[in-house]
Chains A and B, each alone.
Chain A
Amino acid sequence: MKKKYFLNANILDPHNSLDEFGGLIINELGKIEAVGKKVNKNNIPSREKYIDLKEKHIFPGLVDMRVFVGEPGYEYKENFRTLSNAALSGGVTSVVTMPNTNPIIDNVSIVDFLKRRGRDKSKINIFPTASLTKNLEGTNMTEFGLLQKKGIIGFTDGLKTIQNTRLMSRIMNSAQDLDSLIIQHAEDYELSKDGMVNDGIISTKLGLQGIPDVAEKIIIERDLALLEEYRCRYHISQISSAKSVLTIKEKKQSLKFSCGVSINNLSLNENDIGDFRTFLKLSPPLRTEEDRLALVDGLNEKAINVIVSDHKPEDEEQKRLTFAGAATGSSGIETLLSLSLELFHNGSIKLNTIIEALTSNPAKILKINKGNLNIGNDADFCIVDINKPWIVKKENLLSKSKNTSIENKKLQGKVTNTFVNGEELYKI
């Protein structure tokens, strides 16, 4: 590989508190050789060709902590190859995959298969999670220790929540012993039973069963009460309501844990569901505008650490149904960064906070050396024109499934190039 020189870029790397105008050099091994203002036209060899980025931005490659891939079992929704292409076009170079596949990622033998497929078919870094409980049944723990040794990054039941409090306490104990990361999707099943949308004016108007916000809060409060007793690495997958933000703010003063939010809940509210748009049937559901603003505030106040795409590809057959019959989730890895930038452009959140929540914070929680522009590290990064306007069109999406929650939305800011290990794998 030839050395590559990028000049005249706005470089933002929250991990290294780097926010300056300068350049980036990739060495022959695809590692970062130098970065920052000291890299300029005057101190690179004059015979070398360089790429003038004309004030575009360089961000570390995004780390997306909540991604559903269809392999194994649902390849018709998304496979590693299509996921990679979709991710790269959105500047995402590392993903944490959910274990809700068929078969479920709950034992060592399936992890080998997953790692092999991920390595052979994927161009991005795949960090698989395994399920917390066997067969996602919420009754028996999986082998955290053995799974971790095979390369499992964390444990979660993905779409499901551990309802049994005693089991949760034992999970936390084991996680403490083994230094495992526990990721919880917070939802009390009795309160959310048959629910499809936020419990409020929209559920009343559309005649759909509501999910009260307290269904989320009650699990968070329970888990945090347990965490006081059983200290482990605990992460709340994604929250949706003002009440949850408040609880988390309070508890963070005395407890160590982390929390994520889906870009959908951060950018949209329940009114966007309109006339039964099943692509906006999400879990957790979109809630009120007040809830959305509280989530934005939570990110600004560091109560929320991570923004995820909650990328859940579903084919048309799962969505061309009545609202009650349709699957939850939306495809969003390609639009994660651009939609996040909307919050910067409209003055809600600082650019540094957004990029931190998309790069260094998830890497820190996962304990991986990604999401940064460290010298000597793999050159995983994206080049972004943060002002470029574009419109989300279903037919232009690279994901195998087209269930975007923001069809026809006008966005500002687009990834123009994405590099993994110093190799340009996406170019607009």
Chain B
Amino acid sequence: MAIKSDKAVRISQKHLLGIQDLSISDVNYILSEANQFIKLNRSKNKKLDTLRGKTQINLFFEPSTRTQSSFELAGKRLGADVMSMNIVNSAIKKGETLIDTAMTLNAMHPDLIVIRHPDSGACNLLSQKVNCALINAGDGRREHPTQALLDALTIIEKKGKVQGLRIAICGDILHSRVARSNIYLLNMLGAEVNLVAPTNLMPKDVERFGVNKFYDMKKGLKDCDIVMMLRLQNERMNSSFLSSNREYYEYYGLTPDKLNSAKNDALIMHPGPMNRGIEIDTNLADDINKSVIREQVELGVAVRMACLKIFCE
């Protein structure tokens, strides 16, 4: 393992709102902690009492399966009392503001709030109003820090390091919080980042983050060590971002042919859920020699355990 375990045993931030706020030593601290949980998660007895007596509230304003269950499992394995709230059909729909919801929950003295919200910056707003630590599980298009951290951990598991790797992020970058968090984190860890997307799905001025932009997938994948695919949401077709699924697949779907431009030992990643046959060839997605999509989910729990533990302190 090439994760440097820095002597910094404290995190610089009170909340985990985004990768943008973290320092390199924060990141190394989280990754080294997460690394220790991987083995635990693979053993028979997975329960710890690190967070015994602590209360963790998962506040999800957007439907989520894997992230929410991953956070729930992470909290439970550390011994916290975990409560999950799906606000998609609750008081906030009846007109309560985000701040009021936060104040209500804050009055119950939680130690951690994990929040996902469809509006960018929702967690920043909430962080000004609560006393406990806040962990961003995705806000609008802005950030999804634990996803980027688990991606980095997966890369380190498989490649031994991030430094010096060439990594392509492909697909709907414009609407993707996963892409933004990964751009910041992979850049910080010393990777060369290529973005591959049609212009309609490429955010404006994104090259100013120090990434390379490509509209031709084969060029963007050239000599890459990692190919990270993003989910394409169906509604993009209706608003003329793209003409059709089949054209998208033709130009931006990951196929064996396009993957040939990348290095022979290139790995395929995807934050899920996948659209097979739209952004990724179904056989490639299941190829255990190339795809690390299942490892990402596995390490996701470890990363979230590390985040919960560190930010609860």
Q: Which residues of A contact B (CB under 8 A)?
A: 199-201, 203-208, 210, 275-276, 317, 320-325
Contacts and interface: CB of A to CB of B under 8 A. Distances in A.
A324 B208 contact: no
Nearest to B118: A324
Given A207-B140, A207-B177, A322 B204 contact: no
A206 B120 contact: yes
A322 B124 CA distance: 9
A208 B124 CA distance: 14
B204 A324 contact: no
A207 B141 contact: yes
Contact of A275 (B97, B98, B119, B124): B124
Contacts of B208: 201
Contact of B119 (A317, A320, A324): A324
Contacts of B203: 203-204
B234 to A, nearest CB: 18
B76 interface: no
15 contacts: A204-B209, A206-B120, A206-B121, A206-B142, A207-B141, A207-B180, A208-B121, A210-B204, A321-B98, A321-B99, A322-B119, A322-B125, A324-B119, A324-B140, A325-B119
Nearest to B125: A322
B205 A201 contact: yes
A324 B119 CA distance: 6
A323 B123 CA distance: 11
A200 B206 CA distance: 8
The majority secondary structure among interface residues of chain A is loop
Most buried by A among B99, B139, B140: B140
B122 interface: yes
A320 B97 contact: yes
Interface of B: 97-99, 117, 119-122, 124-125, 139-143, 177, 180, 203-206, 208-209
A270 B219 CA distance: 34
A189 to B, nearest CB: 14
A208 B174 CA distance: 10
Contacts of B209: 204
A321 to B, nearest CB: 6
A-B pairs, top 10 by smallest CB distance, nearest first, are A207-B142, A207-B141, A207-B120, A276-B121, A322-B119, A204-B203, A201-B205, A324-B119, A322-B122, A207-B140
B125 A276 contact: yes
B97 A203 contact: no
A164 to B, nearest CB: 21
B204 A199 contact: yes
A276 B139 CA distance: 13
B174 to A, nearest CB: 9
Nearest to B175: A207
A201 B98 contact: no
A204 B120 contact: no
B121 A322 contact: yes
A208 B122 CA distance: 12
A205 B142 CA distance: 7
B21 to A, nearest CB: 10
Given A207-B121, A207-B177, A322-B117, 5 more contacts: A205-B180, A206-B142, A275-B121, A320-B99, A322-B125
A199 B205 CA distance: 9
A321 B97 contact: yes
A323 B119 contact: yes
A207 B204 contact: no
B176 to A, nearest CB: 9
Contacts of A320: 97, 99
Given A206-B121, A324-B120, A201 B204 contact: yes
Nearest to B98: A322
Contacts of B119: 322-325
Contacts of B205: 200-201, 204
Contacts of B97: 317, 320-321
A322 B61 CA distance: 13
A427 to B, nearest CB: 38
Contacts of A199: 204
Contacts of A210: 204
A114 to B, nearest CB: 31
A134 to B, nearest CB: 30
A201 B183 CA distance: 14
B153 to A, nearest CB: 23
B311 to A, nearest CB: 19
Contacts of A200: 204-205
Contact of B204 (A204, A323, A325): A204
B204 A276 contact: no
Nearest to B142: A207
B211 to A, nearest CB: 11
B190 to A, nearest CB: 21
A157 to B, nearest CB: 26
A275 B122 CA distance: 11
Contacts of A321: 97-99, 125
Contacts of A325: 98, 119
A203 B203 CA distance: 8
